[in-house]
Amino acid sequence: MKKILLIGNGAREHAIAKQIKASRQANGLFIFAASQNPGIKALATDYQVGDISNNSEIVDYALDNKITLAVIGPEAPLAQGIVDDLEVAGIASFGPTKKQADLEVSKAFTRDLLTEYQIPACPLYQVFATKEGLADFIMAMETDFVIKPDGLTGGKGVMVQGDHFNTKEQGIKLAEEIISAGGKLVIEEKLIGQEFSLISICDGDNLFHFPAVQDHKRAFVGDQGPNTGGMGTYSDQDFSLPFLHNNDIVEAQKINEATTKALKNKFGCGYKGVLYGGFIALKTGVKLIEYNARFGDPEAMNLLVILKNDFVDICEAVISGTLDKIIPEFEPVATVCKYVVPDGYPNNPVKDVKIDISLVDTNKVDIFYAAVDEQKNGLYLTGSRAIALVGRHQDLYEAEKIVEQEIQKIKGPIFHREDIGTRELIEKRVEMMKSIRSNN
């Protein structure tokens, strides 16, 4: 039996907390988080609000509570080396060390790692720490391009030609500004295709692959508006996605496997934790857009509601290097996850306003709490993605209808994307891939 510490307070961590709570092995769930999450709190033995940027506060909390396993939800504590510090204190963690978390922190590190180990998953790219050669490289590119500042940017740092700037000259100016401010960046070819997430858990050598999921980053219906943390996601009953070929999934899994081997070779010890590949399916094959060192949010909700293995068994197998002994088991259903967010999100969200979720039928959907505060008279928005609902069904479009029916019962100054998981939107994606694949 384990006393488990979970770090983080989003809907992703609520999904992880439910899994830990359901484990045969958990004997106490302790939370260390930046703010309250009423959904997680209801499951917790103890809930400590503290400074998650302060490793020693977290380690002290873990020691005081005799924690035997720590599960790290978000990327920031990984990037500041919480796994290394917990290890020094004798506490095993589910998550990569600081060095290995560079896979998410530094886009330059990741691109260069894949190149060094000849993993053919990168677009044409170059890393720049000075302006030297920058304009020449961009002017010589035959495609549109993307500017990626190095470092954690909360998913908001990337600038894509056609979305954030139009001409090469404008892009050069933006890139030069980042370098003048002391930043390093990656310039890379803009890829055209459909994005999907392929998340694997690694024990250093072995991988446990989850089904593929597609996220929707834009705030509004029809993929309009600003980028967000992700407005909703879906997965399909066959664990692939309607616009993918089976080979695409196999290729993405192989890229994750090759990256794990490369990391072990480079650092002498294996990568342990979640390896979240953001991929793009192209005319032929797939390429890697980015890696994250944690579960996706919302992807974690889709994947963890259908996970049949004991999550704590998986964490233990990661720590002991025996993940090959665990056969992945998922409920063979499609899932659709949609977030409600405050009006004005993401740029100018309303805050401290009440929402009412009491009419949602929890027999029909899973509810995950994110940026909401529980006060005496109800739930209040705190400005970010608020509540996620997940529906499941053998049929993807039925799963969507279940979520849509329930999400409309949430009252308050909120909105969500009605189109995520609908036949209309998914058929557009399928058509787009068909047209890319048939183009010469």
What is the distance between the alpha carbons of residues 21 and 257, in angstroms, rounded to a whole number? 30
Nearer to ligand AMP, 154 or 268 (CB): 154
Residue range at the interface with ligand GLY (CB under 6 A); choices 134-142, 249-257, 296-304, 380-388: 296-304
* Helix H or strand E segment including 281: strand 272-281
Q: Are strands 414-415 and 372-375 parallel, antiparallel or unpaired?
A: unpaired
The residue at minimum Cβ distance from ligand AMP is: 290
Residues facing residue 72 across a β-bridge: 7
The residue count for binding ligand AMP (CB under 6 A) is 13
Q: Does residue 234 come out as left (phi exceeding 0), alpha (psi in the -120 to 50 range) or beta?
A: beta
What track of x and - describes contact with ligand GLY for positions 183 through 222 (by CB under 6 A)? --------------------------------x-------
* Cα torsion through 18, 22, 28, 33, rounded to 10: -10
Q: Which does 123 bind (CB under 5 to 8 A by kind): ligand AMP, ligand GLY, none?
A: ligand AMP
In a 13 Å sphere around the CA of 238, the CA atoms on its Cβ side amount to 8
CB proximity list for 267: less than 8 A, separation 6 or greater: 99, 100
Q: Smallest distance from the beta carbon of 261 to ligand AMP, in angstroms?
A: 22
Q: Smallest distance from the beta carbon of 152 to ligand AMP, in angstroms?
A: 10
Q: Which does 149 bind (CB under 5 to 8 A by kind): ligand GLY, ligand AMP, none?
A: none
Q: Smallest distance from the beta carbon of 375 to ligand AMP, in angstroms?
A: 34
104 makes contact with ligand GLY (CB under 6 A): no
Q: 433 with 248: CB under 8 angstroms?
A: no
155 makes contact with ligand GLY (CB under 6 A): yes
Question: How many CB atoms neighbour CB 81 within 10 A?
Answer: 16
Q: Which does 297 bind (CB under 5 to 8 A by kind): ligand AMP, ligand GLY, none?
A: ligand GLY
CB proximity list for 160: less than 8 A, separation 6 or greater: 144, 146, 190
Residues facing residue 359 across a β-bridge: none
Residue range at the interface with ligand GLY (CB under 6 A); choices 105-113, 295-303, 332-340, 388-396: 295-303
Nearer to ligand AMP, 274 or 323 (CB): 274
155 makes contact with ligand AMP (CB under 6 A): yes
The residue count for binding ligand GLY (CB under 6 A) is 7
Distances (CA, A) of 151 to 55, 249, 272, 286, 294: 19, 28, 21, 24, 15
Q: Where are the alpha helices (DSSP H) in 358-422?
A: 396-407
Q: Smallest distance from the beta carbon of 357 to ligand GLY, in angstroms?
A: 22
Q: 191 with 289: CB under 8 angstroms?
A: yes
In a 13 Å sphere around the CA of 431, the CA atoms on its Cβ side amount to 6
What is the distance between the alpha carbons of residues 226 and 392, in angstroms, rounded to a whole number? 28
- Strand boundaries in 50-141, DSSP class E: 69-72, 92-94, 125-128
277 makes contact with ligand AMP (CB under 6 A): no
Site for ligand GLY in 274-293 (CB under 6 A): 292
Q: 230 with 218: CB under 8 angstroms?
A: no
* Helix H or strand E segment including 167: none
CA angle 122/201/272 to nearest 5° reads: 90
Choice from 299, 404, 406, 419 touching ligand GLY (CB under 6 A): 299
Nearer to ligand AMP, 153 or 375 (CB): 153
Choice from 98, 190, 261, 351 touching ligand AMP (CB under 6 A): 190
Q: Return the DSSP state at 73.
A: -
Choice from 230, 232, 270, 273 touching ligand GLY (CB under 6 A): 230
Q: Which does 398 bind (CB under 5 to 8 A by kind): ligand AMP, ligand GLY, none?
A: none
What is the distance between the alpha carbons of residues 146 and 166, in angstroms, rounded to a whole number? 11
Q: 256 with 323: CB under 8 angstroms?
A: no
SS3 413: coil
What track of x and - describes contact with ligand AMP for positions 96 through 125 (by CB under 6 A)? ---------------------------x--
Q: Which does 195 bind (CB under 5 to 8 A by kind): ligand AMP, ligand GLY, none?
A: ligand AMP
Site for ligand GLY in 16-35 (CB under 6 A): none
346 makes contact with ligand GLY (CB under 6 A): no
Residue range at the interface with ligand AMP (CB under 6 A); choices 155-163, 235-243, 337-345, 416-424: 155-163
What is the distance between the alpha carbons of residues 243 and 312, in angstroms, rounded to a whole number? 33
Q: Which does 168 bind (CB under 5 to 8 A by kind): ligand GLY, ligand AMP, none?
A: none
Binding residues for ligand AMP, rule: CB under 6 A, are 123, 146, 155, 158, 160, 188, 190-191, 195, 217, 278, 289-290
Binding residues for ligand GLY, rule: CB under 6 A, are 155, 215, 230, 292, 296-297, 299
